[in-house]
Structure 1
Amino acid sequence: MKKAGILNRHLSGALAELGHGHGVLVCDVGMPIPSGPRVVDLAFRAGVPSFAEVLDGLLDELVVEGATAAYEVREANPEASALLDARFPGLELVAHDRLKELSAGARLAVRTGEARPYANVLLRCGVFF
């Protein structure tokens, strides 16, 4: 049995299958998830687990070379906006509709219980060497 890191077997296994350039959508409970990516749904109740908790847990285990979010987060969710800016200095911002289009190409979607708007980010996996 694992004693550290991501303990959810479905999520841990999905992360192990990712490679350079693969996309990972980390999203709030309201984001429409397209039929393409594998989905690991962690939502339990509104706000549980939070976007920040899940994002930070994923960043502990992934190499990320880029991130894309909706520019609407700036006004609608200042807390998520600040979190994204702190984690991704080169954050790319696009319209929310464009983020939804881009998420169709993701390899994995991780749905959180976050119930505040626009708490979504599309990560692009990098390599550790």
Structure 2
Amino acid sequence: MKRRGILNRHLSGALAGLGHGDGVLVCDAGMPIPDGPYVVDLAFRAGVPSFAEVVEGLLEELVVEGATAAAEVRQANPAAARLLAGRFPGLELVPHERLKELTAGARLVVRTGEARPYANVLLRCGVFF
């Protein structure tokens, strides 16, 4: 058994299989998920686990070279917008419809229990060297 870090076996295994340039969408409970990406559904109840908890946990395990979110987050969910701006200084903002299109190319989708709108971010994996 792992001592620390992400304990969910499905998520831990999926993260181990990621490579440079792969996309990981961390999304709220309402984000439509297209066929294609591998999905790890962590949603348990509304708000559990939160978007912030999952993003912070993933950032402890992943090298991220870029991030994309919906521009609508600034108006509809200021808390998520502050989290994203603080964690991803070069955050790219696109219309929500474009973010949904980009999701089809993601390698992994991690669904949270977040129940606030536009709590979604598409991460682009980097390398540690």
1:50-69 equivalent positions in 2, closer than 5 A: 50-69=50-69
* Structure 1 letter corresponding to 2:23: G
Aligned to 2:73: 73
* Structure 1 letter corresponding to 2:81: S
- The normalised TM-score by structure 1 is 1.00
State whether structure 2 residue 93 is matched by structure 1 residue 93: yes
Matched length: 129
Aligned to 2:109: 109
Aligned to 2:10: 10
Cα distance in 2, alignment partners of residues 59 and 33 from structure 1: 22
- CA-based RMSD: 0.3
Unaligned runs of 5+ in 2: none
Cα distance in 2, alignment partners of residues 41 and 112 from structure 1: 7
Aligned to 1:46: 46
Q: CA shift at 1:40, angstroms?
A: 0.1
1:27-53 deviation line (CA, Å, top 9, x unaligned): 000000111100000000000000000
Q: CA shift at 1:54, angstroms?
A: 0.3
Identical-residue share of aligned pairs (%): 84
Cα distance in 2, alignment partners of residues 24 and 37 from structure 1: 9
* Structure 1 letter corresponding to 2:18: L
SS of alignment partner, residue 53 of structure 2: helix
Runs of 4+ in 1 over 2 A off after TM superposition: none
Unaligned runs of 5+ in 1: none
Cα distance in 1, alignment partners of residues 36 and 74 from structure 2: 28
Aligned to 1:37: 37
- The normalised TM-score by structure 2 is 1.00
Q: CA shift at 1:68, angstroms?
A: 0.1
